[in-house]
Amino acid sequence: MFALASLLLAPTLLGADPAGDSPAAVVDATTAPAVQVSFPTEDGRLYQIQRRDGDGWENVDTALRGTGEPVTRLLPAGEYRVVRPDGWALVWRDEFDGDQLDLTKWGKEENNLGGGNNERQAYRVEDKYAFVRDGKLHLAVHRDPHTTSDGKTQPYSSARLRTRGRAEWTFGRFEVRAKMPDGQGIWPAVWMLPTDSPYGGWAAGGEIDILESRGSAVEETTGALHFGGAWPRNEYVAHAYEFPNENAAEAFHTYAVEWSADAIRWFVDGELVQTRTKDEWFSEAARDNPSAPFDSPFHLLINVAVDGRFFEHVDQQADRLPADAFPQTLLVDYVRVYQKE
């Protein structure tokens, strides 16, 4: 299926004073023909705009989900069509290009609460803790003590980003290419939480851990699901994946989760490493719904924590790291989200 594009007039040349009273500052500018691509949509269906590239077609930005209303896009001159994707379609992404974190995609959290896991970091919003450079997102842990108005002090400072209020999804493929830090007690994670769970608070509403790395144990990465009742009646299932070659801190690896109503699957570098089916999870609030709690909108989070319960059974402490080991930095090359109809 495709929609024909209609030609638009080129934009006007800048430089003239509209009032005509005085000359305006002249800025060098060029004009170019543009194309208006317009097409109807059906509610819930996916649509991908494509531009002719030689003998083939290339996708223009991400696919969009129809609302039942027509869509119009103004694009550079060319030949376009609109198709309904077959299989996974890229619906959201951050490639971390440029030199600024895109705050239309990510919000910064600020708190000193220790994540509910006895963690020892303050999540702060200053750029030194979360910034974009050389095409990568940097989440940096510094040994910067921070005290909040309630008198609580944490000895480390870091960042936690989330898409809440900006983007959320029910089901899909969530893919991140990243390189872990390797310091004792440093806990990077990419994970998902329900935005407004119909099943109650944590963990009755569920949690999907795409990847977690346990400090200096970078020969492996872990993934998990949290579910059941509200704490302390929560339950979880977890797994570990051991790298056959370069570990999580020596090289970038691609981590992905494919989430459907019936199963959640984890992949590392394209290899399927774990599958959990709906028979392995439940929500106390909806025992008659086998997909609950993993059937409502979730948003993405990326953070780096320090110490806490994740290290209860291993001998790691961030305080053992020398001063010159900081900052400890999680590098993220991209985050991409795919969906199917």
Residues 309 and 208 occupy one common structural domain: yes
| pLDDT of the residue at 47 | 97
Residues 98 and 75 occupy one common structural domain: no
Is residue 115 within 8 Å of 202, Cβ to Cβ?
no
pLDDT at 2 over 60: no
Task: Check residue 149 and give left, alpha or beta (phi > 0: left; psi -120 to 50: alpha).
Answer: alpha
Residues 204 and 301 occupy one common structural domain: yes
Q: What is the mean pLDDT of residues 250-261?
A: 98
Residues 76 and 162 occupy one common structural domain: no
Quote the distance between the C-alpha of residue 99 and its chain's center.
Answer: 18
Residues 6+ apart with CB under 8 A from 238: 209, 222, 223, 224, 225
Which one of 28, 62, 86 terminates a domain?
A: 86
Instruction: Kindly report the number of other CB atoms within 10 A of residue 95's CB atom.
Output: 15
**Higher pLDDT pick, 9 / 243:** 243
Length of the chain: 341
Is residue 184 within 8 Å of 314, Cβ to Cβ?
no
Residues 117 and 194 occupy one common structural domain: yes
Pairing of strands 253-259, 172-179: antiparallel
Which one of 39, 67, 86 terminates a domain?
A: 86
Q: Which amino acid is residue 163, in one-letter code?
A: T
Instruction: Give the pLDDT band of residue 150 (cuts 50, 70, 90).
Output: confident
The total of structural domains in the chain comes to: 2
pLDDT tens sequence across 182-224: 999 999 999 999 999 999 999 999 999 999 999 999 999 999 9
Is residue 75 within 8 Å of 37, Cβ to Cβ?
yes
pLDDT at 323 over 60: yes
Which one of 86, 108, 129 terminates a domain?
A: 86
pLDDT at 6 over 80: no
| pLDDT of the residue at 27 | 67
| pLDDT of the residue at 24 | 57
Is residue 134 within 8 Å of 217, Cβ to Cβ?
no
Quote the distance between the C-alpha of residue 226 and its chain's center.
Answer: 19
pLDDT at 322 over 80: yes
**Higher pLDDT pick, 139 / 5:** 139
What's the predicted TM-score (pTM) here? 0.90
pLDDT at 4 over 60: no
pLDDT at 241 over 90: yes
Q: Is 119 an annotated catalytic residue?
A: no
CATH number, residue 295: 2.60.120.200
Q: Which of 119, 168, 175, 207 is catalytic?
A: 207
| pLDDT of the residue at 206 | 98
Residues 100 and 223 occupy one common structural domain: yes
| pLDDT of the residue at 19 | 47
Residues 39 and 105 occupy one common structural domain: no
Residues 164 and 74 occupy one common structural domain: no
Residues 76 and 169 occupy one common structural domain: no
Instruction: Give the pLDDT band of residue 23 (cuts 50, 70, 90).
Output: low
Is residue 191 within 8 Å of 213, Cβ to Cβ?
no
pLDDT tens sequence across 126-140: 999 999 999 999 999
Residues 130 and 239 occupy one common structural domain: yes
| pLDDT of the residue at 149 | 86
Q: Which of 119, 168, 212, 258 is catalytic?
A: 212
Residues 101 and 244 occupy one common structural domain: yes
3-state helix, strand, coil in the chain (%, to 5): 5, 45, 50
Instruction: Give the pLDDT band of residue 116 (cuts 50, 70, 90).
Output: confident
| pLDDT of the residue at 13 | 35
Q: Is 207 an annotated catalytic residue?
A: yes
Kindly report the average pLDDT of the chain as a whole number. Answer: 92
pLDDT tens sequence across 302-316: 999 999 999 999 999
Instruction: Kindly report the number of other CB atoms within 10 A of residue 102's CB atom.
Output: 14
**Higher pLDDT pick, 294 / 15:** 294
Residues 127 and 270 occupy one common structural domain: yes
Q: Residue 215's closest CA among 241, 191, 188, 190?
A: 188
The beta-carbon contacts of 249-252 under 8 Å, at least 24 apart in sequence, are 249/179, 249/180, 249/181, 249/182, 249/213, 249/218, 250/218, 251/179, 252/177, 252/178, 252/179, 252/331, 252/333
- The whole domain housing 177 covers 93-339
